Amino acid sequence: MKTVNEVSKLTGVSIRTLQYYDQIGLLKPAEYTESGYRLYDDAALEKLQQILLFKELEFPLKDIKDIINRSDFDKTKVLEQQIELLELKKEHIENLLNLCKYLKVRGVRKLDFTAFDSSKLDEYARKAKEQWGQTPAYKEYAEKSKNWTKEYESGLMADFTKLFEEFGTMKEMDPASKEVQSQVKRVQDFITENMYTCTNDILYGLGTGYVGGGELTENIEKMGGKGTAEFIFRAIKIYCGRPD
């Protein structure tokens, strides 16, 4: 048995975080001492390892809790899927140099690595992924992308980025205008053709992510300028018939 302090030193997870995991039912200690101190056995540590792996893959804690507590949770299968996703992230790092060279050839004036800090556009694929990547949309994306070469992927990413750059030139227009709505459809069609079937519901979900703050919003602002993310979301809401 290990105390919460020992587990914290072993894993790098803070004591406060371990206490929080206990409170929300994500990771319960094996037992408590008479004084109320938490004690963790090997099974609890193995579970913590799975939690940390899912966190590395950017799963919300709520989803992690649902996954690891499922009656059909298959540790071996999940580990295989985690390895595959981590390999995609590793591959993306290798692709960055090719992407930058491609963009330079296209005459891009400002080159910024952070605008593409994702694995095979995982900012978008992740929106279609549920539990651990077994929704029809995610399967469709995996099937379409399995034979991509690095050069093809780099070109695809650059073309997708260009759509957001073009949105940036439209910010002074009415988001309900024909031109802007046509641009929204171009985004939807691009995702459907190259990644997965982008229904209006999925498109709206992506739009909410664009204005959700953090890295994705920052990247869009770098592509199209300040205010682009909010403008795109307003246009998507109109396109999808969602009220303000």
Specify whether the CB–CB gap between 27 and 44 falls below 8 A: yes
Q: What angle do CA 220, 233, 131 make, to 5 degrees?
A: 80
Asked if the 2-68 domain carries CATH number 2.30.31.70, the reply is no
Q: Where are the domains of the chain?
A: 2-68, 75-240
Tens of each residue's pLDDT in the chain, 244 residues? 999 999 999 988 999 999 999 998 899 999 998 888 999 999 999 889 888 888 877 778 888 888 887 777 777 777 777 777 777 767 766 666 666 665 666 555 544 444 445 544 455 445 444 444 555 666 777 788 888 887 888 888 888 889 999 999 999 999 999 999 999 999 999 999 988 888 888 888 888 888 877 777 888 888 888 899 999 999 999 999 876 6
- Rounded-to-integer distance, Cα 145 and Cα 148, Å: 5
Spatial contact of 171 and 224, defined as CB atoms under 8 Å apart: yes
